[in-house]
Amino acid sequence: MSDGHDARRDGRGRSGGPRRERSAGGDRRRGRERPPAPNKESLVGAEAELDLTDIAHGGRCVGRVEGQVVFVRHGIPGERVRAVVTKGREGDRFVFADAVEVLTPSEDRVEPRCPVAVPGGCGGCDFQHVTLPRQRHLKAQVVRTQLSRLAKIDRDLEVRPVPGDTDGLRWRTRVEFAVDEAGRAGLRPQRSHDVIPLADCPIATEGVVGTGVLDADWSGMRAVDVVAPSVGEPTLVPIPVEDDVVVEIDGVEAGEQCVVEHVDAAAWQGDFEVHARGFWQVHPGAAATFVDHVLGLLRPEPGERALDLYAGVGLFARAIVDAVGPDGAVLAIEGDERACVSLAALTPDVEQLEVRHGDVARELAPLVEGGDEVDLVVLDPPRTGAGADVVQALAALHPRAIAYVACDPAALARDIATAAGHGYELADVVAFDAFPMTHHVETIALLVPSA
């Protein structure tokens, strides 16, 4: 992947469940790579001067050498750089490279705050060398490009800041650090199993770094999670090299620990219990910001029926159930059993909220077959998106409004294109900079029945 700090956004809904395992800093989106074609000479280590013309999905800039596309990290569109190939062979449609020297710098180039946010360094931050306003401009450009390319929609949009960071730093409340053979915690370079020991991580909160995780000896561990929740003290979760080794902290098995998160949105407030290795938005201002925006888009009314899909611990479900009141109903569907148990335990007396553990597509099928209808839907799927089956099922339930919370603009665009084929159109789209210094961006779209 490109984000070297955490994997909680893959493989499931994104408000309370577990994540697909991976080592910090590695590529979490790709499966098994194709073997190289025979008789193609590797270009790794080759150098070239090139002009960077555009930004691509994933935080890399686009350049070309003799017609071959080069995706370049550590550059800015408009710069001329000397790049060194990090992956690719002769004849490939494209190769990957790092900008190791800037020949014509952009006026938006700044000195990275982290000494390892450089070529060959940590794979977590894509944009530490770019001013915050330009970072957000680049992210907006990526979202616009994906909507245009995959959904055939040309739409202007902005990437809004999220309150809670310090000039794009000190926002990450959850970090998975890798551990090297000497027991030192750190992060990985792009596409590497190496570990770079760290003295600090400038995008991690003071609470994360203040645990002393980067100074401790973690021998026998392959990774260590650090969680700095909004309520209570930070929690450390060591992950042993050997799967059959059990680590206990204060009498509780590591990974079974829970933390409390408080959401103080303008429109709704509440507390959530989240497993330490479960998912919660990593930016301290993200959960409240997204709740306010989703409620503003859906405008739930008393007595309405709603779905919260990939619900996690119920960030949106609990806010909507209060809005629809005792005469309304909310069905929350989530694939992680622990998150479902947590949500049900926090709302035992809320009869209008039903929590179902299961696959979203399978759980929707009987609703469609039974001719059910709903008024509102919010969905917060994994990075792969909801997919055609889920989108088709939602359209068959005839909601008046669908709020789609997406961490991947390409997956969002594909699902919007599918929705268009089933009678739903894009009415609103806004992006939020919930991951400053990285290429990641959270996008929230409103879909309504086509006129």
Domain count, the chain: 2
Q: Is 133 within the bounds of a domain?
A: no
pLDDT at 22 over 50: no
Q: Which of 61, 122, 340, 407 is catalytic?
A: 407
Q: Looking at the structure, tell me whether residues 107 and 176 fall in a common domain.
A: no
> With bands split at pLDDT 50, 70 and 90, how would you rate the model's confidence at 38?
low
pLDDT at 347 over 80: yes
- Candidates 263, 285, 127, 133; CA nearest to 202 is 127
Q: Which two tokens stand for residue 25?
A: 């800093």
407 noted as active-site residue: yes
Q: Looking at the structure, tell me whether residues 190 and 62 fall in a common domain.
A: no
pLDDT at 19 over 80: no
Range of the domain at 450: 1-24+159-451
pLDDT number for residue 279: 84
Q: Is 152 within the bounds of a domain?
A: no
Q: Looking at the structure, tell me whether residues 12 and 64 fall in a common domain.
A: no
Q: Which two tokens stand for residue 1?
A: 């992947």
Q: Looking at the structure, tell me whether residues 197 and 275 fall in a common domain.
A: yes
Q: Is 130 within the bounds of a domain?
A: no
- Candidates 343, 347, 342, 344; CA nearest to 322 is 347
Asked if 331 contacts 320 with a C-beta cutoff of 8 angstroms, the reply is no
> With bands split at pLDDT 50, 70 and 90, how would you rate the model's confidence at 17?
very low
What contacts 188, CB < 8 A, 6 or more positions away? 4, 23, 24, 25, 26, 122, 123, 178, 194, 195, 196
Q: Is 216 within the bounds of a domain?
A: yes
What contacts 210, CB < 8 A, 6 or more positions away? 234
Residue with tokens 């992060």: 187
Lowest average pLDDT, out of 33-42, 258-267, 403-412, goes to 33-42
Which of 59, 94, 122 is at the close of a domain?
Answer: 122
Q: Is 234 within the bounds of a domain?
A: yes
Residue with tokens 């079974």: 256
Q: Is 146 within the bounds of a domain?
A: no
Q: Is 41 within the bounds of a domain?
A: no
- Candidates 204, 206, 277; CA nearest to 238 is 277
Q: Which two tokens stand for residue 444?
A: 């929230």
pLDDT at 29 over 50: no
pLDDT at 225 over 60: yes
Q: Looking at the structure, tell me whether residues 111 and 173 fall in a common domain.
A: no
User: Chain-wide mean pLDDT for the chain?
Assistant: 91
pLDDT at 13 over 50: no
Q: Looking at the structure, tell me whether residues 20 and 54 fall in a common domain.
A: no
- Candidates 287, 279, 329, 280; CA nearest to 307 is 329
**Mean pLDDT on 186-215:** 96
Residue 393: what are its φ and ψ, rounded to 5°? -65, -40
Q: Looking at the structure, tell me whether residues 85 and 6 fall in a common domain.
A: no
CATH code of the domain covering residue 320: 3.40.50.150
- Binding site: what residues are annotated? 281, 310, 334, 380
CATH code of the domain covering residue 64: 2.40.50.140
- Binding site for S-adenosyl-L-methionine: what residues are annotated? 281, 310, 334, 380
pLDDT digits (tens, 9 = 90+) for 239-256: 999 877 778 777 777 778
**Mean pLDDT on 61-69:** 94
Q: Looking at the structure, tell me whether residues 194 and 339 fall in a common domain.
A: yes
Q: Is 87 within the bounds of a domain?
A: yes
Which of 105, 122, 139 is at the close of a domain?
Answer: 122
pLDDT digits (tens, 9 = 90+) for 282-300: 999 999 999 999 999 999 9
pTM of the model: 0.91
Q: Looking at the structure, tell me whether residues 297 and 199 fall in a common domain.
A: yes
- Candidates 274, 250, 281; CA nearest to 345 is 274
Q: Looking at the structure, tell me whether residues 326 and 394 fall in a common domain.
A: yes
Which of 71, 104, 122 is at the close of a domain?
Answer: 122
pLDDT at 7 over 60: no
Q: Looking at the structure, tell me whether residues 54 and 19 fall in a common domain.
A: no
**Mean pLDDT on 105-120:** 96
Q: Looking at the structure, tell me whether residues 16 and 53 fall in a common domain.
A: no
Asked if 165 contacts 132 with a C-beta cutoff of 8 angstroms, the reply is no
pLDDT at 32 over 70: no
